Structure 1
């Protein structure tokens, strides 16, 4: 009996210890989860989020189309190593890919450093939502045509972009805030020319 009682007492003590451990975990676990969530939030905050920047310049939605395009002139282009060949209004990206009603768009033909040629589309759509819808559609179409291993793209709730580069040809597309931009560059300085063009656009609306 003494042995049996001792065994029972031992089992009870073990069960009591497990209960204490369980209660301890119930107290510690919520605090640990809270700390983890806080750390995760801090890490997410520190990770650069894609958005309007010099790499993907997006004017404010309130900026009129004419205000931006009036600053994209021969002088501003030349300040960044370009020479403006021509520009004209357009109503589609070709192949029936029309801009929504109420949009304004220009196609610019530009040279860069005498050896690279660019086509730039600048468009302002009726609303942010219409630019998001149009941009997603444009990127999805390009994804079907371009080699996936050389194409990078991203969609967010506020904007999106696609970039492609191969040999002497580069393409960059971005949209949001009711704006849409697409630039195709051909030549040995295609990547550099697109980078300079984005700086020009950013400078044009920032003043």
Structure 2
């Protein structure tokens, strides 16, 4: 009986050692971090080639407040500077694609704000239409990579066979999107007019973009 118990204990101990060894040998998750704060999950074999230290504190604050909105772009090639630029443009395009899919959501947010303003039915539709027009223009600017409210925070490479996959992480900073007014005269005019009608254009835009954080490496870390 004692021998049986001994062998059982030995078996349990061996199993624990094996499981522990496997756990230690398994590759740990890799992240782009700022002062120990996890910003974005990357492949374990990724080579992080750039982190904008001038934006590090700002990004860290956004993460800690749960306000980080970021988009990842990818390009295949030899890992050149041109590939990195393509990846950045692709990230901008992803923002535009996301916004394009959320036009109805944006319009509903505008309608919600107008409930607190006394406007007729026809005037309300005019305001909503003008808001959507400005929204679509912002989408175009993102697609063209011309929006100052998003910046490249990090870049990394992953080698697969003979190809190098280059990735760029664009961070959307709500505080900087106000500079968009200076970029495009059409947006400036419409946003000013909407403000007089009780519509906070940027508040609605930020609310839509906040949905982009769902199901991303920010939630999976």
Question: Which structure's residues are more often strand, by fraction?
Answer: 1
TM-score, length basis structure 2: 0.27
Which structure has more relative contact order (CA 8 Å, sep 6+)? It is 2
